[in-house]
């Protein structure tokens, strides 16, 4: 059985949890809870598993560790030889990875920087350095990213084209994070709002938090 180290309400862990739901792999993983608020992702024990000190991390039965949401999703999507989230053809793969990267840079990561630098973030025990000006710049970047994806969705049903993909999951993660930091989607972004309402109806999105009871295991 695979192990996923994550935090059940985290926006980044949500990406892998949604992917698991889409691929029907929930029964093949166990979750180990790493408390972000307590800074457990920055302890020496966890850093030995992931140098970057970020969640989530996938651990295979042979001890192989895979960090970064895109890499984990790529691995999971390829397990049965019929990729559904990362593209089946070179063209699909190229477009999905392009839009996924844009979703990370222009939205999700920008919201993350805003959270860690221009809000209380995870608290003074974890946020050892903050640059409010940089955080506010990234907040504005995230809003521009939101407007960009609204424009994309005015012309196609999903972020990377005609089918749900990893890129959609990343934008969902970005909007989950935006909600947590009370960064609203502009009212005029009607296409993005309608798309997000549809995405919230997907069982993989609805069940991401209650997918399983996280195990409290020391790392």
Tokens 């691995």, residue located: 75
Domain boundaries, position 161: 90-202
Q: What is the pTM of this model?
A: 0.94
Residues 121, 182, single domain; the answer is: yes
CATH number of the domain to which 44 belongs: 3.40.30.10
| 214 belongs to a structural domain | no
Give yes or no for residue 218 having a pLDDT over 60: no
**Cβ–Cβ under 8 Å, residues 58 and 16:** yes
pLDDT tens for 144-169 read 999 999 999 999 999 999 999 999 99
- Residue 30 backbone phi and psi in degrees, to 5: -120, 150
**What mean pLDDT do residues 166-187 have?**
98
Residues 116, 174, single domain; the answer is: yes
Residues 155, 62, single domain; the answer is: no
Q: Extract the tokens encoding 90.
A: 């070179």
Give yes or no for residue 205 having a pLDDT over 50: yes
Beta bridge partners of 59: 3, 65
Task: Report pLDDT for 180.
Answer: 97
Task: Report pLDDT for 211.
Answer: 79
Give yes or no for residue 216 having a pLDDT over 70: no
Give yes or no for residue 78 having a pLDDT over 50: yes
Question: What is the rounded distance in angstroms from the CA atom of residue 13 to the CA atom of residue 72?
Answer: 11
User: What is the maximum alpha-carbon separation in the chain?
Assistant: 50
pLDDT tens for 1-44 read 999 999 999 999 999 999 999 999 999 999 999 999 999 999 99
**Cβ–Cβ under 8 Å, residues 46 and 34:** yes
| 185 belongs to a structural domain | yes
Residues 47, 96, single domain; the answer is: no
Distances (CA, A) of 182 to 9, 21, 140, 192: 15, 26, 13, 17
**What mean pLDDT do residues 164-192 have?**
98
Residues 178, 95, single domain; the answer is: yes
**What mean pLDDT do residues 44-68 have?**
97
CATH number of the domain to which 103 belongs: 1.20.1050.10
Residues 48, 100, single domain; the answer is: no
Give yes or no for residue 217 having a pLDDT over 50: no
| 198 belongs to a structural domain | yes
| 210 belongs to a structural domain | no
Task: Count up the domains in the chain and report the number.
Answer: 2
Instruction: Cite the DSSP H helix spans in 27-165.
Output: 44-47, 69-78, 90-103, 109-118, 132-153
pLDDT tens for 82-133 read 999 999 999 999 999 999 999 999 999 999 999 999 999 999 989 999 999 9
For residue 82, count CB atoms less than 10 angstroms from its CB and return exposed for 0-12, middle for 13-18, buried for 19 or more: exposed
């Amino acid at each position: 059985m695979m192990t996923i180290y994550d935090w059940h309400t985290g926006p980044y862990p949500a990406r892998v949890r949604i992917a698991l739901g889409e691929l029907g792999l929930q029964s093949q993983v166990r979750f180990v809870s790493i408390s972000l608020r307590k800074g457990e992702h920055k302890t020496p024990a966890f850093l030995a598993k992931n140098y970057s000190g970020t969640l989530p991390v996938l651990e295979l039965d042979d001890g192989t560790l895979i960090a970064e949401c895109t890499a984990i999703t790529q691995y999971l999507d390829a397990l049965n030889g019929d990729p559904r989230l990362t593209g089946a053809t070179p063209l699909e793969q190229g477009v999905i990875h392009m839009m996924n990267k844009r979703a990370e840079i222009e939205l999700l990561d920008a919201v993350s920087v805003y959270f860690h630098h221009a809000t209380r973030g995870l608290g003074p025990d974890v946020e050892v350095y903050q640059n409010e000006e940089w955080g506010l710049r990234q907040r504005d970047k995230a809003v521009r990213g939101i407007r960009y994806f609204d424009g994309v969705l005015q012309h196609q049903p999903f972020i990377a084209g005609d089918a749900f993909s990893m890129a959609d999951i990343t934008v969902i993660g970005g909007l989950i994070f935006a909600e947590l930091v009370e960064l609203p989607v502009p009212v005029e972004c009607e296409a993005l709002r309608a798309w997000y309402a549809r995405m919230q109806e997907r069982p993989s999105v609805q069940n991401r938090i209650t997918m399983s009871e996280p195990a409290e295991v020391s790392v």
